[in-house]
A = this chain, B = another copy of it.
Amino acid sequence: MRTGEQSIAAFCDQLAAATPAPGGGAAAAVAGAMGASLVSMVGGLTRGREKFQAVEEEMAAAQEAGRREADALLTLADEDQAAFNQVMAAFALPKSTPEEKAERQRTVQAAYQEATRTPLETMRHCLAVMRHALAVVEKGNQNAVSDGCVGFLLADAAFEGALWNVAINLGSIKDGAFLQEVLGEVARMRREREEVQQAFRGLAPDPVTRFLKQQ
């Protein structure tokens, strides 16, 4: 059954089970999908109001991107589990002859690469969600600002969760060129995330002070 089709309670039960999949990679992707959905919500609660005419286009983009990113992230939750199963299947291949050993080694390496690419893709989508979250928090309907903030926070945690799932594979990957490519992409995305985080902290520094001041 696809992750999106499972009930929330059943998915939690499967996470809680003492089996390696589904695990943190899938949970991070689902959290990112919820964050994306909240961005969509705030975009939708902003659009079509005269007061927000100047940002109509940006809010429409956030609303649409939120739904698209949520779908992509739920698919990545499935792919994360599939990639883990591929690694397990590769390790189960026979290794009696030198040919079998070489074939198994190739399959294991290909599976590790796929298990790295999947959370890397989750990181990319979470970064996109964070950017749109920033837009709705800054320019969207302020009655829903807390929803935009939760959207940002969930995408941010999912980014870091996915990063852990990229990282756990790095020690097993033998292809130096692939490894360097991944490390470069990770470094680039972490810099971008740092910028987006700083912008968020500037916009939404402290919830308690913000709302007490409104009294």
| Chain A contacts to B: CB under 8 angstroms | 3-9, 11-13, 15-20, 23-25, 27-28, 30-31, 33-38, 40-41, 44-45, 47, 63, 66-67, 70, 74, 143-151, 153-154, 156-158, 160-161, 163-171, 183, 186, 207-208, 210-215
Contacts and interface: CB of A to CB of B under 8 A. Distances in A.
Contacts of A40: 15-16
A5 B16 contact: no
Contacts of A169: 211
Contacts of A145: 168
A26 to B, nearest CB: 9
Tallying the copies of this chain within the complex gives 2
Contacts of A63: 18
A186 B212 CA distance: 13
Contacts of A171: 211-215
A137 to B, nearest CB: 10
B170 A146 contact: no
A37 B8 contact: no
A154 B26 CA distance: 12
A7 B7 contact: yes
Given A15-B37, A18-B44, A37-B13, A146 B160 contact: no
A150 B210 contact: no
A45 B21 CA distance: 11
